[in-house]
Amino acid sequence: MHSRSASLLLTIALLVSATTPLSVRGEEGECSSRGLYEGEFFPGVGKIEYEGAESTNPLSFHYYNADEVIMGKPMKEWLRFSVAFWHTMRGDGSDPFGSGTKLWPWEDAGLDEMELAYRRMRAMFEFLDKLGVDYWCFHDRDIAPELGSLAESNAALEKVVELAEHLQKETGKKVLWGTAQLFKHPRFAHGAATSPNASVHAYSAAQVKAAMDATLRLGGENYVFWGGREGYHTLLNTDLKLELDNLASFLKGAVAYKNKIGFKGELLLEPKPQEPTKHQYDWDVATTMGFLHQYGLSDEFKLNVECNHATLAGHSCDHELRLASAYGKLGNIDANTGDAQTGWDTDQFLTDPKETLLVAATILKQGGLAPGGINFDAKLRRESTSLIDLFYGHISGMDAMARGLRNAAKMLEDGVLPGMVKNRYSTYSTGVGKKIRDGKVDFVELEKVALSSPDPIEDLPSGSAELYEIILGSYIR
Ligand SMILES: *[C@@H]1O[C@H](CO)[C@@H](O)[C@H](O)[C@H]1NC(C)=O
Ligand SMILES: [Mn+2]
């Protein structure tokens, strides 16, 4: 039997066994009954519990123990996990070469678009509850359908947000961030804010305005801009300067609207070098910082760094996180990874213990990510077609980050590796080095120092990268 029919049988078996009715608490009019389902979407899965590293149960946490205190804070506060609605609820397994493979119980071709949207939202909250994750992230067009006109789409979004608000009140779950999907519809083929057609720029602004309203209403702690189509395929037809000016104008409009409606969350830009465009304007952390600085926007935005985008830009995730953090701009992490043998953004769950150690070290060193967090912008492989794989995927990602956090805390608390780095720069603590740091020395004085000292080559210490690797490796537990 091939896997698709096996998965179909499993899905049917799960559906048949779904007999426990979902209770309808807190009657608040019509909205509380939207999308009601005849049972659980994930029957047979209970709350995922911490069982420790020795457990052989794959539906348990081996490292993530939400309330365990690490370096003064519970793990859940350091990590602030979030599930991404688009991948987890809407990811159907399609890729550029093939159609969807997944048959999730909340998808039902017989239902109308709104009823489907409500059901997906209920499935999301059941998933969050069972997984023990407090936050979720959304795109406007993934939680609610695009209808015949902008006004109808806005009204649909409001109705779905009303249900989400109701479910949040029932469960205590929260929005980490919201965003607008300005890349899927053909109207955004030439860009959204950077479209050569001003009507598209206006449409994009209207969509962001509604998505910011929705994020505010749901108490979202951040709002993200990912400019998937804000770039070009050929410079021959592109006025690069005008497009950058228009992008800045758009972002200034978003800042003004944020202030107008009293949204207190952070605004975040999410760098990515390319895909779907050949060149995306917010290429990487350094490019995005330069853009923000150029347009006087650096006080208004922080960054959402995605690990898979970092590697597409030719950097390590560690590099992008460290640079963003060094600028005081690391606002959120999209925890995922690519594949060294696949050239595109595969959005896999990040499970490498060395990488999560490095990611966690930056989080610990900057004292946390709040109001940002760690969003699982990660999806199942196309051939992972069992419902339970959604749990395996998120558990693997949460556990890997928790393991990284434990290991990074041990590494920082021991102080061996940080001490070696500190020592490497010790000449800047006294004498001329201190003066350099304090900006109290000019080239004339530096020349005097150089002329009167031995040539540094006589006593230049080794970088000992290999020793650092051994020490880092000793913390991967
Ligand atoms: C711009 O878009 C509007 C709205 O779709 C359309 O009516 C107009 O013809 C377009 N203009 C150009 C120059 O592309
Ligand atoms: Mn990605």
Structure confidence at residue 395 (pLDDT): 98
Active site residues: 139
pLDDT at 434 over 70: yes
pLDDT band (50, 70, 90) for residue 86:
very high
Give residue 306 CA to ligand 2 midpoint distance, Å.
7
> Tell me: the pLDDT tens digits for 249-283?
999 999 999 999 999 999 999 999 999 999 999 99
Of all helices (H) and strands (E), which one includes residue 84? strand 81-84
Q: Is 99 exposed, middle or buried (0-12, 13-18, 19+ CB in 10 A)?
A: exposed
pLDDT at 407 over 50: yes
Name which residue sits closest to atom 4 of ligand 1, judged by CA.
Answer: 199
Lowest average pLDDT, out of 4-8, 248-252, 337-341, 368-372, goes to 4-8
Atom of ligand 1 nearest to the CA of 200: 2
Give residue 234 CA to ligand 1 midpoint distance, Å.
21
pLDDT at 20 over 50: no
Structure confidence at residue 3 (pLDDT): 42
How much is the average pLDDT of 193-220? 98
How much is the average pLDDT of 201-212? 98
> Tell me: the pLDDT tens digits for 319-331?
999 999 999 999 9
Mean of all residue pLDDT scores within the chain = 94
Name which residue sits closest to atom 6 of ligand 1, judged by CA.
Answer: 199
- The residues that bridge with 82 in the sheet, in sequence order, are 135, 375
pTM for this predicted structure: 0.92
pLDDT at 6 over 60: no
How much is the average pLDDT of 27-33? 70
pLDDT at 119 over 70: yes
Name the 3-class secondary structure at 187.
helix
pLDDT at 140 over 70: yes
Ligand nearest to the CA of 91: 2
Ligand nearest to the CA of 378: 2
Domains of the chain in start order, with CATH, are 3-414 (3.20.20.150), 424-473 (no CATH)
Q: The tokens of 72 are what?
A: 């003064």
Structure confidence at residue 343 (pLDDT): 83
pLDDT at 78 over 80: yes
Read out DSSP for 234-297? -GGG--HHHHHHHHHHHHHHHHHHHHHHT--SEEEE-----SSSSEESS-SHHHHHHHHHHTT-
For the chain, how big is the Rg over CA atoms in Å?
Answer: 24
Structure confidence at residue 30 (pLDDT): 76
199 lines ligand 1 (CB under 6 A): yes
Structure confidence at residue 29 (pLDDT): 66
Name which residue sits closest to atom 2 of ligand 1, judged by CA.
Answer: 199
**Residue reference for tokens 């990040």:** 350
Residues making up the chain, counted from first to last:
477
